[in-house]
Amino acid sequence: MLLTKTANVKWYYKTKEYYENKGYVFTKFNDIFEVSIEDLYEGSSVYVEYQCDFCGKKRNKVYKDYTDSKKNDFTNKDACRGCYPIRKEENMKIRQRKGILKRNDPYYWKFKENRLEELKLYIEKHGTLDSITMGEGIIINQQMNNYKDDLEEMVNELGYSLFDLVSRIPIGYYDDFNKLEKNILVLIEKYSRFPRLAECQNEGISQYIIDKHGGIDEIKRKMKYYDDTDLIDDRGWYNKSSYEYMVAQFLISYNIPYKREQYPFPNSEREFRSDFTLFPLNKEPIHVEVWGYNDKLDNDIEMEYSKRKKEKKELYEKYGVNLISIEKSIFKDTKYHQIIESLYIIFKDFLEIKYVHVEDAIIIPTNLISDEELFDKIMEYSDNDDCLPNTSRSFDKKGFGRLYKEIIKRYDSFSDFGKKFNMITFNEKMKNDKLNIQQFNI
């Protein structure tokens, strides 16, 4: 807001006619006379006072500079030097609303509608986004990056599908896990299950992308996707085999800290990861490998696995990395309590752990065992051979709880499970015993 109402000026040859036309009477050159601020010559060097309409501070400025600053201004506001950028931005918003903001104007790209319009024109002209990072598409791509626009969201907002406009997935597209999750959900709906690696690759989700997000099992974990056959241990990790699962459950039961899928070798050998990594106090880390095949070499898969196993063991020896090697033989055709004992013997020499009792059911992959085996294991918790265990007394044992949950997943009730094996529940037995006593007393 301009505060000065009048100004004192001198008669000059240059401005004489101007002021006479405004109604002022000439006296002589260099005489001082007072003029209304509205009549002040636009190029005058007289200082005027104004108040910033943004911060309220009062400032002085040469009138010529003041009028110059008002040219092409749509805000009708005065701004000090500190608030000038604010007025400039507000001015651009007004110009944007009026539709007169041009491509080369400052703030043009700041408005999303302009970036959308530029992208729309590019798509209409080229019909593809394959070259959006080159040629005339460079500035559009750069400005979208500057304002952190999501290309797919922008394309969708224009009514297009990104995958209809590109012949390949844009570099870095799947760096955003949300995008990966979104497309995997589409595949889950398509296949009615979690997609296999080959199916992911057919949709442009490469092995590199899957590995970058930790592998299929880690992606499942992040998505909270659960399958009946998934071997999820008590720390929430998806295990690749029942053997890995049992080792994980053993380590958890013994409260042994560990990490999964670590790199035991230098960067040149980054294709290899260990199954578990232990960190004993004041000692070098110990990597654990749980081998999945014996060395029978009966088929191509076993031959390839044996080759990789041999190569991996040689690398452990080459780099002097501590290794605990767990062979398939300790799991195959072995009772669960024997597996627990074998694992204790293997780990105690490395970690100096004290023996603790671990229930068989803790390491059993319950979702993979048969109803018959489930029945045999649950009956180990019963004090009576003629009824299922007393649930109120057994739930303090972790192993029982795991078995019970698996039963309830398969059957409507504990009682229904017992009926399959002609077995009643403990409560049903108590009820029957009470009736028998009453009848006997009668």
| Residues 357-406: tens digit of each pLDDT | 999 999 999 888 999 999 999 999 998 899 999 988 877 788 898 899 89
Q: What is the pLDDT of residue 182?
A: 87
- Chain length of the chain: 442
The pTM of this model reads 0.55
Mean pLDDT taken over the chain: 89
Contact 375, 403 (CB under 8 A): no
Residue 168 has pLDDT above 90, yes or no: no
Averaged pLDDT, 284-311: 84
Residue-by-residue DSSP string for 226-237: --TT-EE-TT--
Token pair of 133, please?
């990072």
Residue-by-residue DSSP string for 377-442: HHHTT-S-TTB---HHHHTTSHHHHHHHHHHHHHSS-HHHHHHHTT-B-HHHHHHHHHHHHHHHH-
Using a pLDDT cut of 70, give the percent of the chain over it.
97
Strands 58-62 and 47-51 come out as: antiparallel
Give the torsion sign (CA, 98, 101, 106, 111). positive
Q: In whole angstroms, give the CA distance from residue 91 to residue 73.
A: 6
Q: pLDDT band for position 221 (50/70/90)?
A: confident
Residue 294 has pLDDT above 80, yes or no: no
Q: What is the pLDDT of residue 437?
A: 65
Name the residue with tokens 């649950």.
Answer: 378
Token pair of 390, please?
């007393």
Kind and range of the H or E run holding 32: strand 32-36
Q: pLDDT band for position 295 (50/70/90)?
A: low
DSSP state of 369: S
Phi-psi region of 282 (alpha: psi -120 to 50; beta: other; left: phi over 0): left
55 against 164, higher pLDDT = 55
Contact 287, 269 (CB under 8 A): no
Query: What are 129-143's pLDDT values in tens digits?
Result: 988 888 989 999 999
Q: Identity (one letter) of the amino acid at 281?
A: L
Query: 8 CB contacts (<8 Å, ≥6 apart)?
Result: 32, 33, 34, 35, 46
Q: pLDDT band for position 297 (50/70/90)?
A: low
Helices (DSSP H) in 27-134: which residue ranges?
63-70, 84-98, 112-126
Which range of 87-91, 152-156, 205-209, 312-316 scores highest in mean pLDDT? It is 312-316
Q: pLDDT band for position 274 (50/70/90)?
A: very high
401, 408, 278: which is closest to 350 by C-alpha? Answer: 278
Tally of CA atoms within 13 A in the half-sphere of 250 that contains its CB: 23
Residue 193 has pLDDT above 70, yes or no: yes
Token pair of 301, please?
């898969």
User: Dihedral, CA atoms, 198, 203, 206, 207, nearest 10 degrees?
Assistant: -30
Query: What are 231-259's pLDDT values in tens digits?
Result: 888 887 888 889 999 999 999 999 999 99
Q: pLDDT band for position 438 (50/70/90)?
A: low
Q: What is the pLDDT of residue 107?
A: 87
372 against 192, higher pLDDT = 372
Q: What is the pLDDT of residue 392?
A: 85
What SS3 class is residue 51?
A: strand
Helices (DSSP H) in 205-359: which residue ranges?
207-212, 216-223, 242-253, 300-319, 336-351
Contact 81, 33 (CB under 8 A): no
Token pair of 299, please?
């088929």
Q: How many CB atoms lie within 10 A of CB 278?
A: 20
Burial class (CB in 10 A: 0-12, 13-18, 19+), 100: exposed
Residue 125 has pLDDT above 70, yes or no: yes
